[in-house]
A and B are shown apart, each in its own frame.
Chain A
Amino acid sequence: MFSILNNSELVKKFKKSDLIIKGGLFLLFFLILVAIFAPILAPYDPNSTSLLSRLRPPLGFEKFKVGFLLGTDELGRDMLSRLIYGLRFTLFIALVGSLISMTIGTLIGVISGYVGGIIDNIFMMLVDIQIAFPGTLMALLLISVFGSSITILIFVVGISGWENYARVVRGQVIQIKNEPYVSAAQVAGAKPRRIILLHMLPNIASPIIVLYTFGISNIILLESSLSFLGLGIQPPTATLGSMTGLGRDFLSSYPHICVLPAIVILLIALVFLLLGDWLRDSLDVRLQRK
Chain B
Amino acid sequence: MRFVIIRTLRAFLTIWGVITLTFIATRIAGNPIDNFAPEGLSNEEYNYLMEYFGLNESYFVQYISYFKGIIEGNFGFSYFSFQPVTEVFFSKLPNTLALFGYAFLVSLIIGIPLGIYAAIYRNSILTTFIMALAFTGYAIPNYILAIFAILLFSFTLHLLPTVGLETPYHYIMPVGCLAMSMLAGKIRYSRSAMLDVLNEDYIRTARSKGLSERIVIFKHAFRNASMPIVSILGLQIAGFIAAVVLVEAVFAIDGIGNLIVKAAIFSNYPILQYGVMLWGSIVVLATLLVDLTYALLDPRIRVN
Contacts and interface: CB of A to CB of B under 8 A. Distances in A.
A144 interface: yes
A251 B18 contact: no
B263 A136 contact: no
A234 B242 CA distance: 21
Interface residues of B, number: 48
Contacts of A134: 238-239, 241-242, 279, 283
Given A133-B276, A229-B246, A251-B151, A140 B25 contact: no
A248 B21 contact: no
Given A125-B10, A132-B18, A140 B151 contact: no
Contacts of A238: none
A32 interface: no
List 5 tightest A-B contacts by C-beta distance, closest first: A136-B242, A140-B264, A144-B264, A129-B17, A132-B280
A141 B14 contact: no
Nearest to B249: A229
Contacts of A259: 147-148, 151
For this complex, into which size category does the number of interface residues on chain A fall?
A: 35 or more
Nearest to B240: A134
B29 A228 contact: no
Contacts of A136: 241-242, 245
Interface string A244-286: 1000100110010011001001100110010000000000000
B244 to A, nearest CB: 10
Interface string A112-153: 000000000000011011011111111011111110000000
B148 to A, nearest CB: 7
A259 B146 CA distance: 11
Contact of B275 (A137, A251, A255): A137
A137 B279 contact: yes
Interface in B249-272: 249-250, 260-261, 263-265, 267, 269, 272
B140 interface: yes
State the majority secondary structure of interface residues on B. Answer: helix
Contacts of A244: 143-144, 147
A265 B283 contact: no
A251 B147 CA distance: 8
Given A137-B241, A141-B22, A145-B25, A225 B246 contact: yes
Interface string B34-77: 00000000000000000000000000000000000000000000
Given A225-B141, A244-B147, A273-B139, A129 B14 contact: yes
B155 interface: yes
B18 A129 contact: yes
B141 A133 contact: no
A196 interface: no
6 contacts: A129-B17, A131-B238, A132-B280, A133-B21, A141-B272, A144-B272
Given A137-B279, A141-B276, A125 B17 contact: yes
A171 interface: no
Contacts of A131: 238, 283, 287
A255 B154 CA distance: 12
Contacts of B283: 131-132, 134
Contacts of B18: 129, 132-133
Contacts of A146: 29
